[in-house]
Each structure stands twice: as structure tokens, then as C-alpha cells.
Structure 1
Amino acid sequence: MPSPRFPNASGLKKKHLAVLVAAALGILPTFAWSASAAVDPVASIEPSGGSVEFNGAFTGNSQSVDLSRFEKGNPVMPGRYRVDLYVNEVRLATQDVTFRAVEGSDMAQPCFSYDDILHMSVDTAKLDPVVFNKTNACIQASDISPDAFAKMDMGSLHLNVSIPQVALLSHARGYVDPQLWDSGETALLLGYSFNAYSTSTHYDGEHGLGSGQAIAADGGSVNVENGNYYKQNQDGTYSPSPNGTYMLATNGSFAPVKYNSYTAWNNGTHSGDTNAYLGLNLGLNVAGWRLRSQETVQWDQNTGRTYWHNINTTASHDITPWKAQLTVGDTFTQGVVFDSTAFRGVTIYSDDRMLPDSLQGYAPIIRGVANTQARVEIRQNGSLLYETTVAPGPFKIDDLYATGYGGDLVVTVYEADGGTHTFAVPYAAVPMSLRPGLSRWVVTDGQIRDESLVNGKPYFVEGTYQRGITNWLTLYGGVQSTYRSLYKAYLGGAAVTTEVGAFGFDITNSHTAFQGAGQSLSGYSARLSYAKTLPTYGTTFAVATYRYSNTNFLSLDEAVQAQDRLTSYRSHDIDVGAPYRSKQRLQANINQDFGGNRGSLYLNGSRMTYWDGAPAATTYQVGYSNHWRDVSFGITASRTYSSSPIYNGNHFDNQYGLNLSIPLGGPRVNRPTLSFSTTQDDYAGATDRASVNGGFGDRHQYNYNASATYSDQDNAQTTVSGSLGWQGSDGNLGGSYSHGDHYQQGSLSASGGMVVHAGGVTLAPYMDGNSAMAIIEALDAQGATSGATKVDGRGYAVIGGLRPYRMNDVTLDPSGTSTDVELETTRLQTAPRAGAVIPLKFSTVSGRAVLIRATQPDGEALPFGADVLDATGQNVGTVGQGGQMFIRGAEEGGTLLVRWGDQANQQCHLSYQLKARGKGESAAVVANVDAACL
């Protein structure tokens, strides 16, 4: 049998593993306890103080090995070990610790650095600065306090440091000393998301559409001449209408059609369009600054135009003493107290992430239903935030970047057959309760950033402050003001925590003085919010808010837009507050987990009413989901009230759905799933769908989906579609195709990222420039993995998603590497700052792996537990049972020294030769040789 492989990855030197190997092989030591033995408080493991003798029958030879170093139990020899570090039995980290010999003791003592002492939350102000400074690399436990000591368990590599509470700082759980926060290295970041979407539609000419008038989705009208759409210009001329969805009036009814250069409607039509989208997240880290830019590029085949849009560009830096962030550039106000506003300028705000976990973000989940293989766009304040292709059926998008706490998300689903539908998802803050003594604040100075403004963009300032007063009361307030006297707003409020839930209430007073018009408006807005979680019943009231404004109240954005309209029309008679001035707003999100096998229920609803008689906008969504064994099912329903020419006025659109998922045979991780769904929509009609999806590949890197859909909208039609995706360690690729009675659709997508750092360029499967990441360096360890990321041929990998200002464990699985490479450690720790790129070096030992079965000149096996040294005197292994040893050496062989004592007759030299690797022979094959030790 092969001898055990001694794991350098544990950080434990091989010459200290004899007892562990003996235990693994079932060798039973005999302990002779001394009554006068004393336990060394520096580093010990019970029992101690006795002598140990090993029965040679278990070791495969009759010669005894000098194991006197183990005669007092399991000692700690001088050296460097990777241990789990505990302070007062609370795990702190996994790290390398150096143990040094102590005069008069058989136990080596751990040495700690100044950073280690800070990480242990030791109150250094009470200690001798001569000992406790950054130059001292060996601070002992006894230096902290006479009553402090360290206890090492070599079997589990568990080091516990016992420190009296009086010597520790009082910190909340999860605290990490700011001196340990790492800004990382200079790096250039690039994340990308590409999607190309093409459709082709055709009709056989039976519609008989001719000249007339079409009504656009926004209520405007365009002329139709011989099937072509034209819009009227200000000078009275006509030009082709831009791409969009229109409702064509025919015989008093409306039918949706999409302008795509339609010609000769009476003789049949054919149209096609291709859209391409590229989202870029750019970043540069240098000298503690984090520069970030989010860009989108759109191209449309029909118009031939390319649209480049900058969502935001910022430069940020930590302000550590204030536990705050400084951000300069294009961004959004936080929207916690006032509504979120896009601006260009500077903001300084307290960062809750710098607080410990026990003292402390938000982006909503987007749910919807696609009738075909569709393209989904998500916009906020007119800016495109996200685009993707979804399969037919229910979809969920839960990976949006947070852009602020206010500003509804507008979701548009572009169906493959040319249809579109749009809905809004509320994006608002929950009650703002804080712990007693904690505060949250923001100061902003900048210029309004709104592309719709044509007559200047005013400058403004905003300041907000929240403070926890008691366990049940938080007070907060804020002020907004433009540089000129256009707008001022003052807000004051409180959050109260009660047994029945948390309530927030505030009142805002706004005053707007329109420039050049002699008009002014003053009004009030009252807001009431509520949140409650009932763990016993599984009920969560995620958000419930109500807002009321009088007729003269305007928000900052509304006031700026009204002033812009007033300047454009140069009239004092227009209603500067119209249209769609908010009157009341109610939104609620409730989730109910019934526990056990009884499933869960969600209910979302929102209602917005307006002054001046504008129709209300109302949306309700309800859904129930459950499973029986491996079969899952769900029921959904929604009701939307809209006002649109599409519906000849006000209209309720009801939608109901039922879905069922059944896993098929095969391995659980890759087995396909068969799904059925049916949807009934008042406007779109009934849609039935069957699909199968699953994955394959040794790392489950491939996924697929195939579906068939039947819809009775207009003329009944059947659609088949399919998609295939690949998730690699360097990026992701995907493609889809669908075919219906009147259209074809295809799309291609790609996403990923890369980091340019000191070691070169490394690709990544995804890139979030706002989160911290690590650059792993593990030379020669190609194939080692950390989650879905694999070390490349140069020895690098990108690990994302690290939690800022927290201790993160970064692990590396060596199972995919060559047997010729060994990781000296498989786990490192780091506490990155926000957005930092942290270099983490995993030390490796390279050399051809070989299992040697060695004997002494008389043919007897080498003594168990003997040390094996290479030509340089480095310990490279230990003799196992039956004289076997596992080592790493040169490609062609070498010479070793085997030593089991200090006498000349207790050591020998061993030479071995290895055959050259055969053509195509894998490095995973371990060489086996027999050798005699002379």
C-alpha cells in the first residue's frame, strides 16, 4: 500500500508528523505517566508529562526509532505552522504562526506580530510600547498579561490564546481593526456584458392595411401612408417615424404593429431588425482611489445608429477615521431620506459596511413573464442599467447593481414576435431605525444630471442625518437647496420600533420659486412607513409605505423639470406642476413562509394617484409556491390598471399563471428538468408552454433549454425555441434561437471580465468592480480551483465577491493540479477595503512526485518515522510504514539522506533514478521505484 501523503498544505513540517501517522495507521503508543510532571502553559496538549514507547511490530521493522521528542505527549517543535487561531475559544483566523524554542521548556512558544495583536483586539494602550511595536516580530502571550497563555493542539492544528478580558478592547462581534484593512494593489478592471438580438417577421398580406392614422404607445399619433409610418415635423413636413410600437387604427379597432420600414401592406410584409448591446464596467485602483465608470453601447440595424451612454463615472476613497466614503463624479444621492437624484459633483457619506456585522443594502428582485425568447431592458431615471435575454416563461433577475434607494425601475420585455410590455418595480427604502448611539449621514454638492433638461442643469446641496437615540427611537432630518432660490426643502422625522413593528414618519416642506415667472409653490408631504418580521409565523412585511402630498408640493426633480418646461415655453400661464404630480402612493410587499411542506406565499402591490385628475396606476402581484418530493409547482396572479389608447381608455389587465417542474433521471447535479406552464392574460390571451432544461460537463459548465409554446393571441401560433450556455473560468457564452408562425429570432451573448495587475492580465468569469476581489498567485498550480474559478496556466486566478472590511477566507482546492505540485497552504485570509484588488500568494513546492520503497543494506525496511533530507539538508519527508516514503524531487532522480538518530549507524544515503516520462504520460501519475539505502 502507498504510504500517506504528508500534507504540506497543512503547514505542518513532515518531521513532526510521526505521531499523526502512527495514529492514522492504528499504532498504539504506551504512556508512562510521571506523577511530578507539570503542564507547560505556553503550548501543551493533555495528557502531558509522560514517556512514549512504540511497539515495533506495528512499524514493519524491529529497529527502534528515536522518538524521545514525543515522550511528553504531543510536543510543539520549533517551526512555522498553519493553524486555526482562536482567542478565548472564539475562532479568529487561519494563518501561519511561527513557534520558537523556549529555554528550559520542551514546548516551543508561538510568536505574534503587532498586526496579530491588533487582530486579537488587545488594548495596546495599556502595554509597554518597547515590546508592542510594528518592528517586534515575536510578541509572546505572556507579554500581553501574566495570566495570558497559548495552548496548541497539534492533532487539529488548533491554537487557542487565552487573554483576560481586562487586557482586551471592548468591540462588537465581527470587528476588524481598521489597521488591518487592505487597500490592495494597483490594477485595471474591465467587466463586460454583450447581447445581440435579431428578429425577422413576415405576414402574408391578408391584413389589408392602408393609409390612415396610427397611435403610438405614449398616446401621440403618426400618419400612415401606404403602410409606412410618418411623423409630422414642426415645419409641417413629414419624415419616417422612429422605431417603436404603434397601434394602427383599422375599422375602429386597434392592433399592435412595430415600425420596421413596413412596405406594401396590401401585398404582404416582411421586416427585420437586429439590436446589439454592450455593457462595460471599467475600473482603476491606484493609491487608495477607486475609479469606476459604467457605460452602455446600443446599436440598431434599422436606424443604423450607435448610441453610447455613460451611466456614471466616479472616483472614490475611504475616509477611515470617519468610517466614510468620498465619491466624486456622476452618481446618485442615496435616496434614504429624500428621493434619489442623479447628479455630477461630490458626496461624502458614512459607510455602514465599515461597522461590524452585529451593528449593521438593497436592490429589488425583478419578476416577470416572457411569452417568447425575449430581450429584457431595465432602466432607472431613463438610464439603461441592465439587458439580458430570457427564455419563455417566468423569469427572475436578482443581480442588479445598487444605484440608489429611490427611483422606480422600468422593465420592458421585447418579445421575439415584435410585441412589448412594460411594468414598473418600486425601488424605495425601508424604515430607518438605527441602534442607540449610531449615526448615518450624507453631504452632497453637485449639479443635477438629467438628460431631458434643455435649459440648464442647476446646482444643489443636500445634507441628511440619522441618529439612534434609544432602542426604540431614531430621529432623522435633511435639507435640500438649489444654489439659486429655485428650490428648498426641509425634512424631519422619526423611526419608532414597537412590539407590533417598526414605524417611520416624516414631514417634508418644499418651496419652489420659478425663475422669470413670478410663480412660487409651497407644500407639504407626509410619509408613513412600516416593516415587521414575525419569525414564529414565517411572515415578513418587507416594505409598506404611504405617501401624501398637497397640490403645491414638488420634489427636487419635479421642480427642476417644471422650471425647464417654463423656460422652454416662455409662458407664465402653463401649469408648472403638471402632468402626473403625485398625490398618494401606497406599496406593500408581504412574504409568508408556511413552514414544513406547506409552501410559501408572496403578495406585492402598489398604487399611485395624481393630482389634476390623472388616472391612477395600480399593480398587484400574488404567488404561491410549494414542492412535493422533487416536484415543484407555483401559482401566480397579477392585476394592472392602466390608462392607454391601446385599451381605448382605462383598463384592468389580469394575468394568471400555473407552473410545474419535474426532475428527470440522471445525476442529481446535472439531471434535466421538465417544466410546464400556462398563462392567461386579458390582453395577450392564453399561452401554454412545455420546456426541458439542464446541464452537463465535468464541472457542470454547460446548460441548455428547449421549449415549445402555443399562444391563442390573434391567430393561434406555435413557437419552438432553444438556448445553450457555457460558464467557464474565463467568461460565459450563450446563444438562443426561436421560430414562430410569423417570425424567427436569434441571439448571442457573452459576459466576463479581466484584471490587469502586477502579474499580467488575468481573465475572470464575471466582474463586479464595486466589490473587493483577490488575485490568487499559485505558480505551477494550474487547474486548482476556488469555487467556479480555476487557476490559469500562468498560475493566477481572480476571486470576486469578497466582503469589504471583513476577514475573508480564500481557499484553493488543489485536486485539479499535477501531482508534481504541492500547495504549502490552501487557505489565506484578507480584510479588503471596498473595491480593493488584493494579491494573495499561495506558496507551492514543485518537483516530480515519487513513491520510494527503500530498504537497508540487509534488506530490512527503513525505520518508521525516520527523517528524509535532500542534498541541501532540507527535510522533504518521513519514512512511513514498511520503509515507504513519498517525496518530490528532480525530474531524473537524486540522492537522499535518511536519518533516524545521531550515530553513524543510524543514517544512510539513498540514490534513485527515474525513467523519463513517456510520450503523453500525465503528470498525475506518481512514479514508483525501489531503492536500497547504503
Structure 2
Amino acid sequence: MNKQTPPRFRRSTLSLLILGMLLPVSASWADDEIQFNTDVLDTQDKDNIDLSHFSRRGYVMPGDYTFTIMVNKESLKEEQIVVYPVGENGQESLICLSPELVSRLTLKASAMRELSWLRDGQCLDKASLEGLEMRVDLAKDTLYLAIPQAYLEFTAPNWDPPSRWDEGIPGVIADYNLNVQTQHSVNSSDSQSLSGTGVFGANLGPWRARADWQTNWDKRNGNTDKDFSFSRYYLYRAIPSLKAKLTVGEDYLSSDIFDTFRFSGVSLNSDLSMLPPSLRGYAPEVTGIARSGGKVTISQQGRVLYETQVAAGPFRIQELNDAVSGTLDVRVDELDGSVQTFQVTTASVPYLTRPGAVRYKLAAGKPSEWEHSMTGPLFTSGEASWGTANGWTLYGGTVIGGDYNALSMGIGRDLYLLGAVAADITQSRASLPSDGTLSGTSYRVSYSKTFDEYDSQVTFAGYRFSERDFMSMSEYLDARYGSGASHSPKEKYTLSFNKRFRELGLSTYLNYSHQTYWNSADNDRLTLSMSRYLDVGPFKNMSVSLSVYRSEYYSLKDDGAYVSISLPIGNGTSLSYGATVNRTDNTHRVSYYGRLDEHNSFQVSSGLSRSGPTGYGYYTWQGDSTQVQANASYQAGSYSALGMTLNGGLTMTTEGGAAHRSNARGGSRVLVDTAGVSGVPVKGFGASVKTNRFGKAVIADVNSYYRNPIRIDVDKLDENADVTRSVSQATLTEGAIGYRQFDVIAGGKAMAFIRKADGSYPPFGASVVNDKNQETGVVNDEGSVWLSGIQANGTMTVKWDGKARCVVNLPPVLPQVLDNLLLTCAPE
């Protein structure tokens, strides 16, 4: 149903009327004074007109304003701007740009040094920045600044330099991810499980305090296992001047050279996420095929990094942070009761650094265990990469820890058209009571290249060989203080490659890893995916895909393949056929996928397998306060199962708070305030969220150090709500709680007629504002006004000549049909 909204006679409309109809009959361009021909107005009382705030070019009435700042067409966050009267008799206005605001305009240091200031250093002297132009649009609550590009620092699309980063406001957070799964099996006992991960945290200024937790409850064969623990306590903050992140507490060594291990101490690492997107690192991804759908858990050294429900068929998880390194353990708990386990080795693109730049990672502390106890020697570690001017990169690092020491040196080269390559050598020396001193060397070569002319990309290709006596810190700690049963790596091959064949419309993806050990069986993992869109007769835009994998995990072999054909049938729905083949079963399914709206989608399917008929269902709901993923699976004579994931959080700040969906646990988010108006749809990159009863909502699908859009979804805005500005943006430091406020006016809309107590009416052009000082209308001829924000027992003030003149009290009971309201404006 289309909603017809009457025209709004607000300040913008009046401005167009004046500029289009009241052409100036004379103007003194020296002082920018404009005189209007009021004879063209269709009004009986031409002497009762207030056009004072339009009579001078660029004039803004003195006062305090909240403006969105636009710098060369780029939007910044809202700012409190003070406008002062200047000149003879205050006939001109000074728009005061404070030193704090100017510091966020990304001016070069040389330009900043040349600035001069007015009003005791509180306001920028516009003349000191040659070429600066300022313009205010009161209708849009926006201050436009045009600054010559020569004065500005480097910016990139969707990225801002550090001067614009927002540390956010103080607050506390509680994010969670819960997974529930229950299975009923005909041939074995039933089982139920509940697992979860989450973060409690607090923000104060640039500091972030976090406590990670994880829990597991499992009931199987009459036995119940349960566990809850806080896996990690830590503080961190961004150091923008160093493009680095400082962490204090329990952490995992972040390194591009050495294997990771857990420790308690302090680290200072160059943070690639602070760089423009084109210069950031490679984020690991995990691919696989779920036979019947179920829960995928990605962990490292017992710490759960990611957990979610997936549908039957191929899955590709790309949400992992690019700071994750080393070997990841992947577990797929299928709805049919089976379990897949395999490992993924995260790739490190060649350790290259831009010419003249230095990247570094420093850490010191003591290795720690899961229960927060510290075991092992005090250690320090450091690594650095320096980009020389001719395309070479020199890098190296060291770990010094008493009975364990390691040293690494490497060199990288940007081969330009041929890609980038790096090679390094690492020497370790470890003293063990049982084996004496062991010394070994590890050699590594890595390569990366995007072949644009061939539509292909080698995301990573690497080879590593380690001698028998070479040990990483984690292997040393296990041999010295643990079970001593760790695997000793020998050779490792890794390849990640994708290729697009434009002529065939075919896309391919290959991921391969091969790991051999000195003391155990080999590990292999191969995944190959191919997909193509094609038209067959009347069927358009069909999608055909094939995914195959082969895995050998410590002598446990697993092979599988999945093929699917999907046909769009309109309105966000599709019909598909899929077949899964593995060592134990073959399954054929026909599925129907539907997307009800941006918040709801589902998939239902039915099929056959060796064991009998199967049925499957999958549903996703993007709620305002949580996200739910649910699936159900059934096989006649074999099993039935249900699974569900709940993903959300709670954020509370000094400005209010709300329950919300959660993207990255403990990560950045934005609290949106709609001036107390509930039910307002706001959104970032994903589905919209409605403000709660207090007019607050939290948008969690934002990225750190990235220019995130924050906007009101005006297409879904209730007809009794009105906004003058619907778009903002936020560039947040990691873990920050941003705050953005939108001036939303709630209430009915109608044509009204305002009369003063003596029967006269306010002058043409007078402004009507509510108790929040929001403009709700501009007076037209004979007191007529198109008024918004009408609420029972409400109060509005009418202003002209820059002052509040009288007050309108709205009736306690509004008529069912708002039209031609007669309102009295009584003196204050």
C-alpha cells in the first residue's frame, strides 16, 4: 500500500519560494545585503513578514547548532557548532570551527601550522586557510566545507586517516553465540548438546577491557559433561600514531614468522587493519561440505574462534579476523550424528612492506595455560619488516626465552607483473632435561600473485621444510611441561588459487594443503569448487556448481562431492537439486529456497539416500535483538535432529543502550539515538534494526577503521515520523561504541492555522519548534502552516526576529482526522 504524504512547508520549501519567486530588486554586493520584492507574495498583510534570516547572503542566526559536516562531499559525524554575531550591529555571522573539529579535517601538518585563530583560540580564522569555503544548509542541518585538495592528507574510498577515527563513548557490552543441538537415533542413544562463546567487556576512552568465555553441555549415553570457563582476560587499545595495537593480559602470539602460542604479558603490534583496505593483509577462510547440515566449530589450541550452524552442502567461512594465524582445528557436528574433523593452515602472504615503511610486532611475558596459570620461561619476542626503495623487503625476528631461543631472517621481493615472493630461514635451540640441547632449522618460501589479464589469483602458495630437531615454542612447551605427544612437522605444501573463465562463464576455486611429520601420519586436505551461470531454453540465469574434497587426518580418510543446480523462479525464490556423495552414503535432494524479506529466509528440501527418504529444513531470522539460525533433518528409520544458533548481544552506555544482533563478538558497534522515537528503522550494511521503546538501537555490522554508513531506512519509516537528515557515517577504532543521533520528529501531520491571543497571526516566515527545539513548520500566509510532530497535550513555540514569541498548546484529545487545526499561540 502506497502512503501519500502531503508536501512539507518547511524551511527548505520556504527557501525555494524566496529564491524562485522573491527575486531581489536591489542588492548591495559589498555587504551582501539582499532586499526582496514582497509584492509578489499572495498575502493580505505584507507588513507582517519576517524574512530577516534570509536577507543577508550566508547569514546564519547566532546560536548553538548540531550540523553534519560535509568536507568536499564526504560526510563526517555530527558536530556542535556555535555561530557568533560579528560585524557592525551583529549583521554578519561567524561559524566557529573549533580546534578539535579542525583536527579531524585531515589537514596536512604544514597547513595546520599556518592556521590562525579568533575568539581566544576557539574559532578558526577562515582567511588563514586560503580557498576555504563554508555554506550552511539549515533545512538539512548540514555545514558544507570546501577545502583545496592540496591541504588534505591521503584518503581512500571508504577509509579515513587517523584524525577522523572515533574512539566512541564509555559503555559495557555482553555478546554471545549459543548453539543448541538434539539428535534422536534409531540405532543408538539420543544426545543433546549446548555450546556457546561470548565476550563481556567495558570501554573507557581508548581502552577496551574484555573477558572471553565459552561453555559446553553435552548429554550422551546417560552421561552429562558440562563446563564453563573464562578463556581470556585482556585490555587493549589503538595507538594511531604508531598504526599499532597495544594489548595487556592474556593473548596469543601474533606473528608472520613464528607459530602462535598462548602467553600472559604485553604486546605491541603493527595493525594492518588501520591501513587502507588495498594495503591490508589476507584473512583466512575455511571451506568444507556438510553432509546433512549442522554445527561448524573453528578453534585453535582449545579456544573457540567461530561457531555457527550451516545448511547441508558446501560452506565457506570468511568471517575470521586477519590477525588469526597458525593451524586451525575444524569440527563439523552433523545432524545425522556423524562428525568431521580436519585442520586448516592459515596462509601468510609474502611478508612485504611498502618502500620506506616499517612493520613490527613486539611481545613479552610468560607462556600461560587454559586455567590462567603460567608455565614456562619468561620470554621476549620481536619481528620487523622494512621495505627498501627498490622493491626489496628485509625482515626477521627472534624469540628469547631461557632454554628456548629462535632466530629468523628473510627477504622478500615485489616482482611486479610476476607477483611477490619471500623466503626465510628460522633457527631454533631448545634445552630439554631428557634430550639435552636440540638445534634445528626450518626453511620457508611463499608466493602471491593476481593475474588480472588471466582472471586468476594465487592467494597464497607456500612450502616449508623443518629439520627433525627444529621446534617451535609451543612444541617446546609441550615437550618440557606437557604430555610431549605433539606432532613434529616435516614438510608443508599450501596452495590457494582461483580462476575465472569468462568465455565459459565458469569460476573455479582450489585449496590444497599437505603436511608431513617426523613422528606421525601425514595430513592432506584438497577442496575444489566450480560454478557457472547459464541459460537453457526458457530457464534463465541457472546456477550449476560442483564441489569435491579429499581429506586425510592422521590416517582417517574422508572423500566427498556435492553437485547442485539452482533455478531462480522470481521474488527472491529458487528451486534447486543437490546430490551429496561420500564414503558412507549418497543423498539426493530437491530444495526450495525463499527470501520473505531482508529479515527472513528459509529452505526446505526432500530427498532419498541409501538409508531411506530424507527431509530437511533451514530458517534464518534477522531480528532486532538477536539473529536465529535453525535447521531440522530427518531420515526414515535412522534419525531425526534439530539445531539452532542464537547470536546477539547487549550494549549499555552513558547515552542509553539496546539488545542487538552481534557480528564480531566484542567488536565495534554504533548506538543510534532517534530522539526518543521508537520503531524507527536504522541500518548499516545489513538488515535494518528498529529502535526500541527508548528510541535506541545498536548496529553491530560495522568494520573497524572503515567508513561505515549509518542511515535511517526512509522507505520503511512510519508515516507519522519525519526526519530532516537520514544519513551519517562512522569510522571507529577497534572495539569502539560509536554514537550517532538523528533528529526524528514523531507525531501527526496536518495543515493548521495559528492565531495569537489578540486574533492576529504570526508573521510570514516565522518558525515553529517543538519542546526538543526541532523545527516542525514554517508559517505561511495568514498563519497557515503545514505542521508535523503533532501529539496530544504537546507544546510548540513560535519564533520570529530570532526570539521565542508565543507558545501553542496542542489539544489533549486530537481529532480522528487531522485537518485544518485552529491553534492559539499564547504569550510565554
Q: Residues 77-476 of structure 1: matches in 2 within 5 Å? A: 78=62, 85-87=69-71, 95=79, 97-103=81-87, 108-122=93-107, 132=117, 136-142=121-127, 144-145=128-129, 148-151=132-135, 161=145, 168=151, 181-203=165-187, 270-286=188-204, 288-302=206-220, 303-355=223-275, 360-401=280-321, 404-407=324-327, 409-449=328-368, 457-470=376-389, 472-476=391-395
**1:30 and 1:52 in contact (8 A); partners too:** yes
- 1:598-622, Cα deviation, whole Å (9 max, x unpaired): 2422122222233468446352423
Q: CA deviation at 1:183?
A: 3.7
What is the distance in 2 between the residues matched to 1:169 and 1:140? 18
**Alignment equivalent of 1:493, drawn from 411, 432, 437:** 411
Corresponding residue for residue 656 of structure 1:
561
Q: CA deviation at 1:680?
A: 3.0
Corresponding residue for residue 601 of structure 2:
703
**1:113 and 1:134 in contact (8 A); partners too:** no
Q: CA 1:120–1:50 in structure 2 vs 1: closer, same or farther (change >3 Å)? A: same
Corresponding residue for residue 794 of structure 1:
694
Q: CA deviation at 1:752?
A: 1.0
**2:359 and 2:385 in contact (8 A); partners too:** yes
Which stretch shifts more, 292-301 or 350-359? 350-359
Corresponding residue for residue 722 of structure 1:
617
Corresponding residue for residue 638 of structure 1:
548
**1:61 and 1:862 in contact (8 A); partners too:** no
What is the distance in 2 between the residues matched to 1:190 and 1:75? 48
Amino acid at match of 1:292: R
Where 1:499 maps in the other structure, the secondary structure is helix
Q: CA 1:106–1:632 in structure 2 vs 1: closer, same or farther (change >3 Å)? A: farther
Amino acid at match of 2:352: S
Amino acid at match of 1:4: P
What is the distance in 2 between the residues matched to 1:456 and 1:309? 19
Where 1:418 maps in the other structure, the secondary structure is coil
Q: CA deviation at 1:561?
A: 2.8
Amino acid at match of 1:412: R
Q: CA deviation at 1:395?
A: 2.5
Q: CA 1:486–1:115 in structure 2 vs 1: closer, same or farther (change >3 Å)? A: closer
What is the distance in 2 between the residues matched to 1:516 and 1:60? 103
**TM-score of the superposed pair, with normalisation by structure 1:** 0.75
What is the distance in 2 between the residues matched to 1:413 and 1:870? 57
**Alignment equivalent of 1:600, drawn from 485, 492, 507:** 507
What is the distance in 1 between the residues matched to 2:720 and 2:72? 40
Is 1:478 matched with 2:397? yes
**1:597 and 1:627 in contact (8 A); partners too:** no
What is the distance in 2 between the residues matched to 1:447 and 1:506? 26
Q: CA deviation at 1:691?
A: 1.4
Where 1:184 maps in the other structure, the secondary structure is coil
Is 1:929 matched with 2:821? yes
What is the distance in 2 between the residues matched to 1:869 and 1:581? 74
Where 1:835 maps in the other structure, the secondary structure is coil
Q: CA deviation at 1:359?
A: 6.0
Amino acid at match of 2:451: L
Where 2:700 maps in the other structure, the secondary structure is strand
**1:372 and 1:393 in contact (8 A); partners too:** yes
Corresponding residue for residue 781 of structure 1:
677
Is 1:689 matched with 2:597? no
Q: CA 1:856–1:758 in structure 2 vs 1: closer, same or farther (change >3 Å)? A: closer
Q: CA deviation at 1:736?
A: 3.0
**2:77 and 2:730 in contact (8 A); partners too:** no
Q: CA deviation at 1:463?
A: 1.1
Amino acid at match of 1:774: V
Q: CA deviation at 1:164?
A: 6.3
**Alignment equivalent of 2:654, drawn from 758, 773, 780:** 758
What is the distance in 2 between the residues matched to 1:511 and 1:872? 70
What is the distance in 1 between the residues matched to 2:335 and 2:16? 64
Q: CA deviation at 1:33?
A: 7.3
Q: CA 1:318–1:279 in structure 2 vs 1: closer, same or farther (change >3 Å)? A: same
Q: CA deviation at 1:274?
A: 1.2
Q: CA deviation at 1:500?
A: 0.7
What is the distance in 2 between the residues matched to 1:131 and 1:727? 51
Q: CA 1:22–1:816 in structure 2 vs 1: closer, same or farther (change >3 Å)? A: farther
Is 1:559 matched with 2:562? no
Where 1:703 maps in the other structure, the secondary structure is strand
Q: CA 1:625–1:295 in structure 2 vs 1: closer, same or farther (change >3 Å)? A: farther
Corresponding residue for residue 461 of structure 2:
544
Q: CA deviation at 1:79?
A: 5.5
**Alignment equivalent of 1:877, drawn from 754, 777, 781:** 777
Q: CA 1:842–1:615 in structure 2 vs 1: closer, same or farther (change >3 Å)? A: closer
What is the distance in 1 between the residues matched to 2:246 and 2:452? 38
Q: CA deviation at 1:296?
A: 1.7
Q: CA deviation at 1:719?
A: 1.2
What is the distance in 1 between the residues matched to 2:100 and 2:603? 52
Is 1:891 matched with 2:792? yes
What is the distance in 1 between the residues matched to 2:808 and 2:169? 46
Q: Kindly indicate which of the two structures has a greater share of residues assigned to strand.
A: 2
Is 1:517 matched with 2:435? yes
Q: CA deviation at 1:383?
A: 3.2
Q: CA deviation at 1:478?
A: 0.4
Where 1:301 maps in the other structure, the secondary structure is strand
**2:421 and 2:448 in contact (8 A); partners too:** yes
What is the distance in 2 between the residues matched to 1:868 and 1:450? 65
**2:178 and 2:196 in contact (8 A); partners too:** yes
Is 1:20 matched with 2:16? yes
Q: CA 1:515–1:17 in structure 2 vs 1: closer, same or farther (change >3 Å)? A: same
What is the distance in 2 between the residues matched to 1:818 and 1:196? 37
Q: CA 1:908–1:844 in structure 2 vs 1: closer, same or farther (change >3 Å)? A: closer
Q: CA deviation at 1:706?
A: 1.3
**2:542 and 2:568 in contact (8 A); partners too:** no
Where 2:548 maps in the other structure, the secondary structure is strand
Q: CA deviation at 1:285?
A: 2.2
Q: CA deviation at 1:852?
A: 0.8
Where 1:200 maps in the other structure, the secondary structure is strand
Amino acid at match of 2:566: S
Q: CA deviation at 1:304?
A: 1.0
C-alpha RMSD of the superposition: 4.5
Q: CA deviation at 1:552?
A: 3.1
Q: CA 1:441–1:152 in structure 2 vs 1: closer, same or farther (change >3 Å)? A: same
Amino acid at match of 1:702: N
What is the distance in 1 between the residues matched to 2:798 and 2:153? 53
Corresponding residue for residue 644 of structure 2:
748
Q: CA 1:308–1:159 in structure 2 vs 1: closer, same or farther (change >3 Å)? A: closer
What is the distance in 1 between the residues matched to 2:416 and 2:656? 56
What is the distance in 1 between the residues matched to 2:266 and 2:563? 49
What is the distance in 2 between the residues matched to 1:872 and 1:488? 64
Q: CA 1:914–1:163 in structure 2 vs 1: closer, same or farther (change >3 Å)? A: closer
What is the distance in 2 between the residues matched to 1:448 and 1:809? 41
- 1:507-557, Cα deviation, whole Å (9 max, x unpaired): 111223322433x33222221111111334322211111112233323222
**Alignment equivalent of 1:583, drawn from 490, 497, 502:** 490
Identity %: 25
Amino acid at match of 1:726: W
Q: CA 1:311–1:53 in structure 2 vs 1: closer, same or farther (change >3 Å)? A: same
What is the distance in 2 between the residues matched to 1:722 and 1:513? 56
Amino acid at match of 2:311: A
Corresponding residue for residue 675 of structure 1:
576
Q: CA 1:803–1:633 in structure 2 vs 1: closer, same or farther (change >3 Å)? A: closer
What is the distance in 2 between the residues matched to 1:62 and 1:346? 75
**1:491 and 1:509 in contact (8 A); partners too:** no
Structure 2 stretches of 5 or more lacking a match?
A: none
- 1:771-825, Cα deviation, whole Å (9 max, x unpaired): 2222233342101122122211022221224444566553344676666665565
Where 2:8 maps in the other structure, the secondary structure is coil
**1:3 and 1:886 in contact (8 A); partners too:** no
Amino acid at match of 2:576: S
Where 1:271 maps in the other structure, the secondary structure is coil
